[in-house]
Structure 1
Amino acid sequence: MRHYDLVILGAGSGNMLLTKEFAQLRTAIVEPDRFGGTCLNRGCIPSKMFVVAADAAVSARSAGRLGVHAAVERVDWKAIRDRVFGRIDPLHESALDYRRDNGVDVYTELGRFVAPKVLQVGDEQITADVFVVGVGSRPMVPDIPGLDTVPYHTSDTIMRIDEVPRSMAVIGGGYIAAEFGHVFDAFGAEVTVIQRGPRLLMAEDEQISARFTELASRRHRVLLGATVTSVERTASGVAVAVTCAEGDQVVEAETLFVCAGRRPNTDRMDAAAGGLELDGHGHIVTDDAYRTSVPGVWALGDAANHFQLKHMANAESRLVRHNLLHPEDVRTLPNRVAPHAVFTSPQIAGVGLTEQVARRDGIDYLVSVRDYADTAYGWALEDTTSFVKVLADPADRTILGAHIIGPQAATLIQPLIQAMTLGQTVDQVGRDVLYIHPALTEAVEQALLDL
């Protein structure tokens, strides 16, 4: 049985732990898939590279409103795909070689706990003084009659297909469906989105969700309040039987794309056998410093939290690194502000409290909504649908939440994230800061001044 000072399970954000300060330790990484985790290989990074190409196609087709009459001559899917993965795929081998060349043992088989701090990897068992669990998550596949008999894709596979399908049925209405619905619609597929809830992007502020549902329905066929009762293979693809407010119907498509959420990979590593406490969703329970129920075992990323955000996992990795190196000075994350963005069209970004949660929980709030159309740059864009929404505490005037839908939303929200993190008031951020004219940030400024 080989013993280590430190073993890391998962080479996503967990791989970032191993800086030069750990060089004197005997260390190992257990990664049965690819270095870089979900984000690099089948998540944030490749999907955004596809989104940028889709944005270019949509921009060209919609430029007529500006007096620029353009058309998309051809979308070369294979060239787009190969540009994406031609850049990404070589990074796995180089990362693996780098770790091995620097004295880190890398195990490329699945690791499973057989006892607390005892891991079975292939034919051998390894132990360690310290384990860090960062095994990530995977797409959830719902229990739909017939699904196991038909070809379908998840976010793990959809980006590597050989050609754009003529039609696509999307089960789910969350952020993955929103982003890839945009991509494949932009590249010529007829997209049908099948959503259980009354709106798309239900986790967003209800005003953002409603606006996005309205805009997406102009591009796609959107079935709301819909339940998939079965799927079956057809000569040309799949048939999806759906019950919804419009009555029972069958959606036929060449390709089926399942976007039903994600689940942590803790079952694959048998966390329970390792003595690790799990919550009802299968996430490892940690304290604010990311210590688990087993002394000497830490956890981070999608295996430990519900955010499913790479920037959150990276922050956790930095925190755990500090705590491992400085056990006398254990720290926690300085705040729980977890911003996010959905890179669809239009782009969406949010942070903090939504209006529906404020009402539900009886939280006092002030709210301001300002349209991009109220700014000079909004005029330049001929924008009629985008807006900035900010919620504030009426007593101490700090920002409770911010939500944006429209071009550059993920960038525009950043000063509001910083204000929330630093505890600044709407007065400080709205009046004491100069906003460049006529940039889109004036929409943020106007919302703050309105408050």
Structure 2
Amino acid sequence: MAHYDLVILGAGSGNMLLSEETARLKVAVVDPGRFGGTCLNRGCIPSKMFVVAADVAVGTRTGARLGVHATVDRVDWKAIRDRVFGRIDPLHDSAVDYRRANGVNVYTEPGRFTAPKVLRVGAEEITADMFVVAVGARPRVPDVPGLDAVPYHTSDTVMRMDELPASMAVIGGGFVAAELGYVFGAFGTDVTIVQRGPRLLMAEDEAVSERFTELAAQRHRVLLETTVTSVAAHGGGVALTVSGPAGEEVVEAETLLVSAGRRPNTDLLDATAGGLALDEHGHIVTDDAYRTSVPGVWALGDVANHFQLKHMANAEARVVRHNLLHPEDVRTLSNKVAPHAVFTSPQIASVGLTEQEARRLGVAYLVSVRDYAQTAYGWALEDTTSFVKLLVSPADRTILGAHIIGPQAATLIQQLIQAMSLGLTVDQVARDTIYIHPALTEVVEQALLEV
């Protein structure tokens, strides 16, 4: 039985734990998948590379509103796909080779706990003084009659298809549906989105969710308050029987994308056999320092939180690395400011309270909304639908929440994230900072000044 100072389960954000400081430790990394985890191989990075190509296609077709008349001759799906994964796929082997060359044992078979701090990997059992569990999450597949009998894609597989489908049905209305629905629609696929709720992107601020739903319905068929009651094979594709406000109907498509959320991989790890406490959703329970219920075992990323965000996992990895090496000076990470973005069209970014959350919690707030169209750069864009929305505390004038829908939203929100993290008031951010004219950042400035 091999014994290590540190065993890392998961080579996504878990791989980031290793540094010059950990070189003195005897370390093993266990991951049956590809180094880089979800983000690099089947999540944020490849999907954004597809989004960039989609933006070019859409921008070309819509240039006439600016007086630029152009057409898209064709979209070469295989060329786009191969550009994306031709850059990503070689990174796995080089990462494994690099770790092994630097004294890290890499296990490429699945690991399962057999007891606290005892892990079976293949035919071998290993132990360690410290474990970090960072095994991530995977797409959740809903229990729909017939789904297990037809071919379908999830976000894990859809970007590696050999051919661009003529039509696609999407189950779910969250960020995967928003981003990949946009991508395939931009490339020419006829997309139908089936969403149980009354809007798409229900977790966003209601105003943002409503605006995005309106815009998405202009380019896709969007079925709201509709459930899939069964799925069957049909003519080389699939047929979804759905039930909604108009009654029951059948949606036919060449390809089916299931985007019904994600579930933590704790079941694949036998986390409970390892003594790890789980919450009602199957996530590993940790404290603010990412310690689990087992001394010496830490957890981070999608397996331990509900954010499902790579930048949050990166921040957690930095905290956990410090805590592993400096147990006398344990650091914590506050999740009060947890921003996110949806790289669809229009782009969406959000941080802090939504207006519906503020109402539900009874939090007093002021609201400021500023349209892109009210700025010079908004004129240049001929933008008529984008806006910035702020929620501000009337008591101490700090920002409670910020929500942006429109071009460059994920970039524009960064100064507001910083202001919230540092406890700055809207007055400080608006009046004590000079904003470049006529940059798009003026829409944020104007929203702040309005408060």
TM category, shorter: over 0.9
Tell me what 2:381 maps to.
Answer: 381
Q: Deviations over 1:119-168 (max 9, x none)?
A: 00000100000000000000000000000110100000000001110000
Whole-Å separation in 1 of the counterparts to 2:223 and 2:106: 47
Whole-Å separation in 1 of the counterparts to 2:334 and 2:248: 50
Q: Deviations over 1:270-323 (max 9, x none)?
A: 000000000000000000000000000000000000000000000000000001
Tell me what 1:99 maps to.
Answer: 99
Q: In structure 1, what residue type is equivalent to 2:110? A: L
Tell me what 1:242 maps to.
Answer: 242
Whole-Å separation in 2 of the counterparts to 1:335 and 1:409: 21
User: What is the TM-score normalised by the length of structure 2?
Assistant: 1.00
Tell me what 1:137 maps to.
Answer: 137
Whole-Å separation in 1 of the counterparts to 2:377 and 2:248: 45
Whole-Å separation in 1 of the counterparts to 2:295 and 2:361: 36
Whole-Å separation in 2 of the counterparts to 1:38 and 1:335: 21
Tell me what 2:33 maps to.
Answer: 33
Structure 2 matches for 1:151-300, cutoff 5 A?
Answer: 151-300=151-300
Whole-Å separation in 2 of the counterparts to 1:308 and 1:24: 31
Aligned partners of 1:6 and 1:129 also within 8 Å: yes
Aligned partners of 2:412 and 2:441 also within 8 Å: yes
Aligned partners of 1:390 and 1:447 also within 8 Å: yes
Whole-Å separation in 2 of the counterparts to 1:208 and 1:447: 15
Identical amino acids, percent of aligned pairs: 79
Tell me what 2:65 maps to.
Answer: 65
Whole-Å separation in 1 of the counterparts to 2:280 and 2:62: 46
Tell me what 1:110 maps to.
Answer: 110
Q: For this pair of structures, how many residues does the alignment match?
A: 451
Whole-Å separation in 2 of the counterparts to 1:335 and 1:82: 37
Q: In structure 2, what residue type is equivalent to 1:91? A: L
Q: In structure 2, what residue type is equivalent to 1:339? A: P
Structure 2 matches for 1:435-446, cutoff 5 A?
Answer: 435-446=435-446
Whole-Å separation in 1 of the counterparts to 2:27 and 2:415: 39
* Alpha-carbon distance, 1:236 to partner: 3.3
Whole-Å separation in 2 of the counterparts to 1:112 and 1:36: 20
* Alpha-carbon distance, 1:336 to partner: 2.5
Whole-Å separation in 1 of the counterparts to 2:338 and 2:73: 40
Aligned partners of 1:139 and 1:154 also within 8 Å: yes
User: What is the TM-score normalised by the length of structure 1?
Assistant: 1.00
Q: In structure 2, what residue type is equivalent to 1:5? A: D
Q: In structure 1, what residue type is equivalent to 2:49? A: M
Could you say what secondary structure the match of 2:410 adopts? helix
Q: Deviations over 1:361-390 (max 9, x none)?
A: 111000000000000000000000000001
4+ aligned runs moved over 4 Å, structure 1: none
Q: Deviations over 1:240-277 (max 9, x none)?
A: 00000121110000000000000000100000000000
Q: In structure 2, what residue type is equivalent to 1:420? A: M
Tell me what 1:121 maps to.
Answer: 121
Q: Deviations over 1:19-45 (max 9, x none)?
A: 011111111000100000000000000
Unaligned runs of 5+ in 2: none
Aligned partners of 1:236 and 1:253 also within 8 Å: no
Could you say what secondary structure the match of 1:34 adopts? coil
